Structure 1
Amino acid sequence: MRVLVVLPTYNEAANIEEVLRRVRANLPEGSVLVVDDGSPDGTAEIAERLGEELGQVAVLRRSGKQGLGSAYRAGFRWGLEHGFEAMVEMDSDLSHDPAALPSLVAPLAEGYDLVVGSRYVPGGSIPNWSKSRWLLSRGGNLYAAWVLGMPVTDSTSGFRAYRAEILKAVDLDSVRADGYGFQIEMCHRVLQAGGRVTEVPIRFVDRVRGTSKMSTAIVVEALGLVTWWGLRRLADRLAPRRQRRPGRSGR
């Protein structure tokens, strides 16, 4: 199975070399696409230099910061155009351990369409998080699962693997959410498309170097979108079925 790891970057010069070396070491048969949103700190240049050394590393340069969801959509389209059979998404700040890549990709060969690296299944963990932050994350995931009827414990996780076929079935051009909202929307759409979803445990750690891109606005966006999708889902379930009009005989 040809696997592409998509790494969105913006000002990740402090982390990109280590993450690329560790990804290539843990998934030697896989390839990497760095989607860089015009990082002024030289992230793209570092990635291109390492690509020449490590091999199987490409860089997709974009003009200006366009958002996480947009970066992943661009990366998935690139992967589909280049014939990859599976796409992995993960952060570029080492909060996702590249050593977990083999266990994340393995269930795809068993017929699963989406494999989510979960912090909330047995074996998953989030060291050093405050109780309030844990409650916000856990509560948001429980809310999304309840409102959208998703059997997924960690739909906001950004460490996951997709089969190419399910990405083709999902209309990427119509996906508009970013941040947490993008992750939830993709889970929801995969399930709506009839995809099989499973979760594997991961250990999530906060970045050590660089600045976090997460903001309150992204969290608020996600909660608002989940509520809107949930209302639409409820409306669809309550809407009466259209009755067929009796056809004319033509006589």
Structure 2
Amino acid sequence: MSDAIVIIPTYNEIENIEAIIRAVFSQKKDFHILVVDDNSPDKTAQKVKELQQEFKTSLFLLERDKKDGLGSAYIAGFKWSTEKKYEFIFEMDADFSHSPKDLERLYDACALDNADVSVGSRYVKGITVVNWPMSRILLSYGASWYVRLITRMKVKDSTAGFVCYKREVLETIDLDKIKFVGYAFQIEMKFKANKSGFRIVEIPVIFKDRIRGKSKMSGSIISEAIFGVISLKLKSIFIKY
């Protein structure tokens, strides 16, 4: 059995799902995959079930009744993965914006180099983003700067969604108290890991915008991040980690 599992949340990713699964399984390191599907109308889950006939012991599917946010999808995946006792648990998008070739670098940072959380970072060495409009780069980079200013975390890419967690981190954080669903979810997880004393390292990666399918970004997700960070900081004053 592998000690590492990659959680891939999906909603209408039929154009990407088979390719990303095969790309992860083609890496030298043996990774398992858990797809968390939010009842995709395009039958993403059905394609995963077909692929399970080929990858019987390494591909898993968690089906949810409705689209309920990225954060809650990852929380469901985290709980499933910790119950199965995987030691290293990954977040990764289905759309190839995160390269499967970088999975082993994130794994090594935790398994060999004593990190508790490793982040595939777009901003730790300049700005390494491809095919994004300048407006979105400024929004994302500005959000990360804003988070550092408010929280005093040293993480330069706090909204990154390409992450490896040691199981101990997810077992320490109270996952039932994670409140946010979009950008703010990624910030909240890193913030609580940091406040709990875990070591977070950033690994530089090249982030590419999706080629197929539609982005799930929305104005509500952005506003959640802006106001959620202030809420996180204020509440942390009264919480003992």
> Shorter-chain TM-score: which interval?
over 0.9
Aligned length: 236
Q: Distance in 1 between matches of 2:47 and 2:28?
A: 20
Per the TM alignment, residue 93 of structure 1 is displaced from its structure 2 partner at its CA by 1.1
1:98 lines up with 2:126 in the alignment: no
Q: Choose the corresponding residue for 1:116, options 116, 119, 137.
A: 119
Task: Name the SS for the 1:26 alignment partner.
Answer: coil
User: How far apart, in 1, do the equivalents of 2:171 and 2:19 lie?
Assistant: 32
Gap change, CA 1:236 and 1:61, over 3 Å in 2: closer
Q: Assess if the C-alpha contact under 8 Å between 1:112 and 1:196 holds in 2.
A: yes
Of 174, 179, 184, which aligns to 1:181?
184
Q: Deviations over 1:176-202 (max 9, x none)?
A: 101100000000000111100000011
CA distance in 2, matches of 1:198, 1:124: 17
Q: 2:109 aligns with which of 107, 110, 134?
A: 107
1:42-72 deviations in Å (ceiling 9; x for gaps): 1011112112213400000110111100000
Look up the match of 1:70.
72
Measured in 1, the distance between the counterparts of 2:162 and 2:11 equals 18
Q: Does 1:191 align with 2:194?
A: yes
1:120-163 per-position Cα deviation (integer Å, ceiling 9, x unaligned): 11276101222222111111101101111101000100001000
- Give, in whole Å, the separation in 2 of the partners of 1:135 and 1:83: 39
Larger radius of gyration: 1
- How far apart are 1:116 and its partner, in Å? 0.5
Share of identical aligned residues, percent? 44
1:51 aligned residue: 52
Residues 29 and 104, structure 2, Cα contact 8 Å, conserved in 1: no
After TM superposition, the score normalised by the length of structure 2 is: 0.94
* Stretches (4+) displaced over 3 A: none
User: Counterpart of 1:155?
Assistant: 158
| CA deviation after TM superposition for structure 1 residue 26, in Å | 1.6
What SS does structure 2 have at the residue aligned with 1:53? Answer: coil
Gapped regions of structure 1 (runs ≥ 5): 238-251
For 1:47, give the aligned amino acid. V
Between the aligned partners of 1:89 and 1:124, the Cα distance in structure 2 is 21
Match of 1:125 in 2: 128
TM score, norm. by length of structure 1 = 0.90
Indicate conservation of the 8 Å contact 1:33/1:59, yes or no: yes
Kindly indicate whether the alpha-carbon contact (under 8 Å) linking 1:87 and 1:163 is maintained by their aligned counterparts in 2.
yes
Contact 1:123 1:202 in 2 (8 A): no
Aligned to 1:37: 38
- Distance in 2 between the 1:219 and 1:27 partners? 37
- Provide the C-alpha distance between the structure 1 equivalents of 2:204 and 2:12, rounded to a whole number of angstroms: 28
Q: Which amino acid aligns with 2:53?
A: E
1:211-237 deviation line (CA, Å, top 9, x unaligned): 11111110111111002223344x559
Residue pair 1:124, 1:201 contacting (<8 A) in 2 also: no
Amino acid at match of 1:194: G
Gaps of 5+ in 2: none
Q: What CA distance in whole angstroms lies between the structure 1 residues aligned with 2:91 and 2:104?
A: 13
Q: Residue 157 of structure 2: SS of its match in structure 1? A: coil
Give the whole-Å Cα distance in 2 for the aligned partners of 1:230 and 1:136: 21
Correspondence 1:143 to 2:143 = no
